Structure 1
Amino acid sequence: MKIDLSGKTALVTASTAGIGHAIARGLAGAGAHVVINGRSQASVDKALDALARQLPTARFTGIPADLSDPAQTQALVDALPAIDILVNNAGIFGLVDFFQTDDAQWDHYWQTNVLSGVRLSRALLPGMVERGWGRVVFISSESARNIPADMIHYGVSKTAQLALSRGLAKRVAGSGVTVNAVLPGPTLSDGFATMMAEEVKRTGKSLEALGKEFVMAHRASSVIQRMASVDEVANLVVYVCSPQASATSGAALRVDGGVIDDIV
């Protein structure tokens, strides 16, 4: 199977590092013009430099915006070319006990993880429908179905993305535009690397070894019994964005290593 996205333009939010960066690289590798987004100009410029080295013939544009802010989101929309592929990857997470999570934190997670995707989909979906082709992907999480007791606020926001993606798929039914959610599990992202930096120094273990230990301790139902790489997650997203995935819409697609212990 050869995925060819030549002539398509994609926006990948929060794509300066981690899973988002890998998705941007994968889409560009398939021929798409990719708009990189991050919260600061410095992070966007750093990502663009890295991508230019990795894919010197690919086409990238960078637009900074904090998507928890409606005004900055609108400024991003105003600066965009016509978008064929929208990957709603922007999101935050953190361990906070339910009884210590105040309204301001709930609102911050809702604005970032849910309403950023609402606003961008509202702005960009009509153009896709008019052109008769488009792809929208929400990067959710296995935590959407396996709500973590130590970050309920995060799990709730990720579950909301599943409802949003399913509802939007039904709203644009028959238009040639698909809307799906992808659910990563434990992933060897830049965020995990930062979190484990001191442990790597202390133990001398590799990040992959520590990732495996984390999975077996905290996600023992994992079938692959290790963390996924960001490229493994990106591979599924690139497929979902491809012409070959035209019969997949309204789906919650897992790339969680089998952490969610069911058969559907």
Structure 2
Amino acid sequence: MQINLTGKIAVVTGSTKGIGFATAKGLLEAGAAVVINGRTAEAVDAAIAVLKKQQPQADVQGVVADLSDARGCEALTQAVAHCDILVNNAGIFGPLDFFETDDAIWQQYFDVNVMSGVRLARHYLPAMAKAQWGRVIFLSSESAFNIPADMIHYGMSKTACTSIARGLAKRMAGTGVTVNSVLPGPTMSEGVAQMLQEQSVQSGLSLEQVGTEFVKAHRPSSVIQRMATTEEVANMIVYACSMQASATSGAALRVDGGVVDSIAP
């Protein structure tokens, strides 16, 4: 199977690093024109420079916008009025006990992880429907189904993303537009690597080894017994954005390494 997205425009939010960056790279390799998004010009420019070095002919542009509020989302949609593929990847995470999580933090997670995707989908989907083709992905998490006791606020936001994707898929029924959520498990992104760095230094183990120990201790139901790479998650996203995935819509596509202990998708 060869995925060819030539002629398609993809917006990938929060794509200066991690899963978003890996997804942007994969979409570029498939021939799409890609819009990189981040909160600072430095981060966006650095990501584009790396992609251009790897793929000199790549059609890639950047938009600096903080998607944590309506104004930032509007800045992105004004810069890029139309797209064929929308990957709502922008998000934040971090452990915090429920009784120390105040209203402002709950609101922040909802605004960044949920409302950014809602606002962008609301803008881009009508034109996709008119064109009778489009792909929308909401980045969820295994934490949507397997709510972490130390990140209830995060789990809530990812359950919401999965729910919205399912509902939007129904709303877009018969239009040629598919909407899916992708649920990574523990993934060695830059943010996770930073979180594990101190433990790596103290233990003398590599980040990969520390990541494996983390999975075994905190996600013992994992079938692969290790962290996934950002590329492994991006592979699922790129497929879900492809022509070949035309019969996949309303799905919660798990790339969780088997962490969620269920035979149902």
| TM-score bracket, shorter-length normalisation | over 0.9
Aligned equivalent of 2:199: 199
Task: Measure the CA separation in 1 of the matches of 2:199 and 2:49.
Answer: 29
What does the per-residue CA deviation read over 1:60-90, in whole Å, with 9 as the maximum and x for residues that have no partner?
0100111012111101101104200000001
Superposition deviation, residue 154 in structure 1: 0.5
- 1:173-212 counterparts in 2 under 5 A? 173-212=173-212
Task: Measure the CA separation in 2 of the matches of 1:53 and 1:188.
Answer: 23
What does the per-residue CA deviation read over 1:13-70, in whole Å, with 9 as the maximum and x for residues that have no partner?
0000000000000000000000000011111011111111121121101001110121
What does the per-residue CA deviation read over 1:142-177, in whole Å, with 9 as the maximum and x for residues that have no partner?
000000011101000100011100110000100000
Superposition deviation, residue 93 in structure 1: 0.8
**Which of structure 1's runs of 4+ aligned residues deviate more than 6 A?**
none
Q: Structure 2, unaligned stretches of length 5 or more?
A: none
Aligned equivalent of 1:237: 237
Superposition deviation, residue 251 in structure 1: 0.4
Aligned equivalent of 1:27: 27
- 1:90-239 counterparts in 2 under 5 A? 90-239=90-239
TM-score by length of 2: 0.98
Task: Measure the CA separation in 1 of the matches of 2:195 and 2:152.
Answer: 20
Task: Measure the CA separation in 1 of the matches of 2:105 and 2:129.
Answer: 35
* Amino acid corresponding to residue 25 of structure 1 in structure 2: K
Give the percent of matched residue pairs that are identical in Structure 1 and Structure 2: 63
The SS at the match of 1:187 is: coil
* Amino acid corresponding to residue 167 of structure 1 in structure 2: G
Task: Measure the CA separation in 2 of the matches of 1:76 and 1:20.
Answer: 16
Aligned equivalent of 2:86: 86
Aligned equivalent of 1:59: 59
Superposition deviation, residue 200 in structure 1: 2.6
Task: Measure the CA separation in 2 of the matches of 1:30 and 1:217.
Answer: 37
The SS at the match of 2:87 is: strand
Q: Structure 1, unaligned stretches of length 5 or more?
A: none
Equivalent residues, number: 264
TM-score by length of 1: 0.98
Aligned equivalent of 2:2: 2
Aligned equivalent of 2:71: 71
Task: Measure the CA separation in 2 of the matches of 1:55 and 1:236.
Answer: 21
